Amino acid sequence: MEELRDMLESMLNIEFIRGTISGPRSREGIVKVKIRPLEKKGELWFQLEAFTNTQAFHENLSPGEAKERIAEYMQRFRQMQIETVSENVSVLTSKKGKVTIQRKKRQTKGKGADLSHNRKKKYILEEGTYVPFLKDLGVMTEEGKIIASKTDKFRQINRFLEFIRDILPELDKDRELTILDFGCGKSYLTFAMYYYLHELKNYDIQIIGLDLKKDVIERCTSLGEKYGYEKLKFLQGDIAEYDGVDNVDMVVTLHACDTATDHALAKAVGWNAKVILSVPCCQHELNGQLGSKSGTRPESGNPDGSRFLSPVMDYGLLRERFAALVTDGLRAKYLESCGYETQILEFIDMEHTPKNILIRAVNKGEESAEAAEEISQCEDFLHVKPTLGALLADQGEMVRDEEKTN
């Protein structure tokens, strides 16, 4: 690796544009690393952005620190591509640690990297481009300028559309798609989804927004008619009781409180929906089921596994957060057990909203017995029974009864 370190020492300077480390030898942990230069307080630093299958981690390092960290990564990866102002470099490493470096001079000198630490983010819906529904919902002015108090909402809308963009390859563009938005509320994201998929990407879609509030539904219906969104409908109703469609391609549930999220997820599984996007909210259910300070279940007095977690359970705030994480972890595992490839992602930075976890699930059609076993072990250890498990069990019994009848 000394040859690699020598090369990096000569290249980690102002002429460095970008680098990518890829080809992990193991699928566990970090799967890709991106490298870029940046300027902090007049000094050159390098940002390494490391990706797992579900998360991204950033660290800003001095040139010397970056050299050592990159060399460390290359012991676990097969290749690295580096682009500088004057040349392109490929680095290959063998299982035995042999390093092969291939350097190629550029015919024309490249443009240096943007060293600004906070580069302007490119949004799907950009400021300066007038979008009717953003104006009517109070996010944007007629000139396309974002209203200062709605900046966080604007970021949230764009972050949501990025998740939609990522799953487009999973959706069929050759037929009409049906999308359900449970608990649509004021429908910032519902309108954004329709605008992006239908107006910008030309998908043939119908979107149904469902909410309990009559005034909200009337307002959203009026706006949809105003824009001529013929296949965007808003209905007043309860998630648990809705049965207005037979086939659904994507289910969206954003900030559906507590077990309302579970009812939406169970509906999505029952429809065999291809994609599920869910941002849970107010996960209270398991907090009441977890053991108390004495290590017993409040309702039964029986000891449970949570007594081993007293450093968490003895403090209300930590207990509440732990219960919320367990709730969403079990939801993700239930979806995996039903044949979905599931990720838990950061929806938007905590500084903008505390409801920052998004569950993204894509139906692969292969049920996982391993996930089912992990669910059982976790629930037995903590003595918890989440609503989603009961709902999916009921659906399974109904399917089996129908099969017997037929």
Q: Packing angle between helix 316-337 and helix 260-270, nearest 10 degrees?
A: 10
Using only C-alpha atoms, what is the Rg of the chain? 25
At 299 the pLDDT is: 47
Tell me what the pLDDT averaged over the chain comes to: 86
Mean per-residue pLDDT, 124-142: 90
Give the pair of three-digit tokens for residue 335: 């979806």
At 306 the pLDDT is: 62
Tell me the pLDDT band of 350, cut-offs 50, 70 and 90: very low
Sheet of 99-105: strand order equals: 56-61, 43-51, 32-40, 16-24, 77-84, 87-93, 99-105
Mean per-residue pLDDT, 12-38: 91
CA distances from 189 to 134, 232, 281, 333, 400 (A): 10, 12, 16, 26, 37
Neighbours of 387 (CB within 10 A): 19
Q: Does residue 255 contact residue 279 with C-beta atoms inside 8 Å?
A: yes
The span from the CA of 290 to the CA of 304, in Å, is: 8
Mean per-residue pLDDT, 178-198: 92
Region of residue 383 (phi > 0: left; psi between -120 and 50: alpha; otherwise: beta): left
The span from the CA of 170 to the CA of 151, in Å, is: 30
Mean per-residue pLDDT, 160-166: 92
Neighbours of 326 (CB within 10 A): 21
At 353 the pLDDT is: 43
- Token pair 């500088």 in the structure block, residue: 84
At 303 the pLDDT is: 53
The span from the CA of 91 to the CA of 102, in Å, is: 6
In angstroms, how far is the first alpha carbon of the chain from the final one? 66
Q: Packing angle between helix 2-11 and helix 63-73, nearest 10 degrees?
A: 140
What burial letters (b/e) apply to 174-192, b meaning 16+ CB within 10 Å? Answer: eeebbbbbbbbbbbbbbbb
Q: Which one-letter DSSP state was computed for residue 200? A: I
pLDDT one-digit tens code per residue, 70-80 = 999 999 999 99
pLDDT one-digit tens code per residue, 28-64 = 889 999 999 988 878 899 999 998 887 788 899 999 9
Out of 199-203, 330-334, 398-402, least confident range: 398-402
Region of residue 365 (phi > 0: left; psi between -120 and 50: alpha; otherwise: beta): left
CA distances from 281 to 119, 200, 322 (A): 31, 30, 14
At 200 the pLDDT is: 92
At 295 the pLDDT is: 42
At 346 the pLDDT is: 83
pLDDT one-digit tens code per residue, 269-314 = 999 999 999 998 888 889 888 864 434 444 444 455 666 888 888 8
Q: Is the pLDDT of residue 119 over 60?
A: no
At 152 the pLDDT is: 85
Q: Alpha carbon 347 to chain centroid distance?
A: 6
At 243 the pLDDT is: 87
At 121 the pLDDT is: 64
At 293 the pLDDT is: 45
Beta strands in 171-329 (DSSP E): 177-182, 205-211, 232-236, 250-257, 275-281
Q: Does residue 339 contact residue 366 with C-beta atoms inside 8 Å?
A: yes
Q: Does residue 184 contact residue 211 with C-beta atoms inside 8 Å?
A: yes
| All structural domains of the chain | 2-105 (no CATH), 132-405 (3.40.50.150)
- Token pair 């498990």 in the structure block, residue: 389
CA neighbor of 7 nearest in space, from 136, 135, 93: 93
Q: Is 103 exposed, middle or buried (0-12, 13-18, 19+ CB in 10 A)?
A: middle
Q: Is 306 exposed, middle or buried (0-12, 13-18, 19+ CB in 10 A)?
A: buried
Give the pair of three-digit tokens for residue 217: 């539904």
The span from the CA of 386 to the CA of 263, in Å, is: 11
pLDDT one-digit tens code per residue, 226-267 = 999 999 999 998 888 888 898 999 999 987 787 889 999 999
Please tell me the pTM assigned to this model: 0.69
State the DSSP H helix or E strand holding residue 51, giving kind and residue range, or none if neither. Answer: strand 43-51
Q: Alpha carbon 87 to chain centroid distance?
A: 36
Region of residue 374 (phi > 0: left; psi between -120 and 50: alpha; otherwise: beta): alpha
Q: Is the pLDDT of residue 333 over 80?
A: yes
